[in-house]
Amino acid sequence: MDSWLLEFRMNTNKVNEETKKFMDQMSKLIKTLDMNCNLMFENRKDSITALYMNSNGLKVLLQQTDGGLFTLDIHATTRRNSYFKDRVNQLDENIRKLDFAEIPKTPRYESLPALKRGREFSCYDVSDGMIGEKDFDKVVLDEVTSRQNIRILHSVAFGNVFYCNGDLNLAESDYEGFSHAMSGFGKVDYVDKTVLILGGGDACVLRRIKDLGPSMITVIDYDQRAIDVTKIYLPTICGDVLNSMTGKNYRIIIGDAGEYLEKAVKNRLKVDIVINDITCIPVVSKIDGREWDFVRKLLNLSMGVLKDGGVYITHGVSPSHLQAQESFENEIHKLDYSVHFTKEIATIPSYQENWLVYLIWKQLKNEHSQSDTQTNSINKM
């Protein structure tokens, strides 16, 4: 079902004085959507409410609210050609030409586009009370593995887009932006370094850094199927890296990143760089839930395996989520290690918004700072 939500300002005094004329004109205009769309219900007591319907599932609801605001909700349950959208736009324009209509002091904004409901997939991202529409045109893959739900949707602008458990991971268009950000924005030296990537089974970061001179890269991802799906549907992301689970200076292990870190700490394993490509900062009202517990676990254990002078690179969140940033930075301040961090602004095409990535440096023992933790300003790269 497609839903158009139109709204208009009318002169309330005129409408009240000539209600029948107003309703006759509205009914005539609504019939331009469909000649068989007839008035089925009308109530003029206190305020106007009217429902128009036809036999093909078209419903049009007219409502009068306070302050001269009228809303017109159009619900079409059958798939229609583009001509119907044109008719809705023409109806919108014609209603604003009525003698009853208030002339706005400033240019009016365009009416909302149709809300697409009941599809095989949702075109919408809803976050922090805001809604964004994606240009998806088909479901490429929708599968529940033993570990998670994997869904790949095709975007006209960004190619195949990879979702895990409803969260956007990356798209075919994202290799350069994503790998540049999650490898440290060119600020991290990989020569002769040991690297641990948590998650990262799509090989986006691995593909970028394997040729930057590291001595060994270990990738810990818990879903073999996600790796296989990336090879098939997102080859622009992984290249030929996933043709083998091992290479000259890398290995991919199927396992739980948290458990791997716990064993590494117990066995006193040390690495130069840890890249957390599993999770971002949770945007939730409370910081005592399962998601935050997982973020804290990865942060603390990763610091335990980092060598002095090493760096922990992790996803942040949209720069607009100030409270989430503050909560995460408070967790950094609580660490039992002397660290400093920067947060960089990344541009990843399919995200359609700026994205923060944190670089948290574990200080050398001979380094001294005025405080245990130093916060640097945001850098835009």
CA distance 11 to 69: 9
Do 329 and 366 meet the contact criterion of CB atoms below 8 Å apart? no
277 annotated active-site: yes
Looking at the fold, whether 149 and 29 belong to one and the same domain comes out as no
Looking at the fold, whether 55 and 151 belong to one and the same domain comes out as no
- Report pLDDT for 374: 45
Looking at the fold, whether 107 and 207 belong to one and the same domain comes out as no
Looking at the fold, whether 253 and 229 belong to one and the same domain comes out as yes
Looking at the fold, whether 129 and 110 belong to one and the same domain comes out as no
Domain hosting 129: range is 124-169
CA distance 77 to 219: 48
For the chain, residues with pLDDT lower than 70 are 78-82, 106-109, 127-129, 365-381
Looking at the fold, whether 92 and 143 belong to one and the same domain comes out as no
The residue behind tokens 């799906």 is 229
Q: Which of 80, 100, 116 lies at the terminal end of a domain, its last residue?
A: 116
CA distance 141 to 163: 10
The one catalytic residue in 277, 288, 293, 308 is: 277
For residue 152, the number of C-alpha atoms closer than 13 Å in the C-beta half-sphere is 16
- Within the chain, where are the H helices? 12-17, 19-30, 82-95, 175-182, 204-209, 224-233, 235-238, 257-266, 290-305, 322-333
- Report pLDDT for 378: 55
Q: Residue 89 sits in a domain of what CATH number?
A: 3.30.160.110
- Report pLDDT for 73: 95
- Smallest CA-to-CA distance from 25 within 99, 90, 102 is with 99
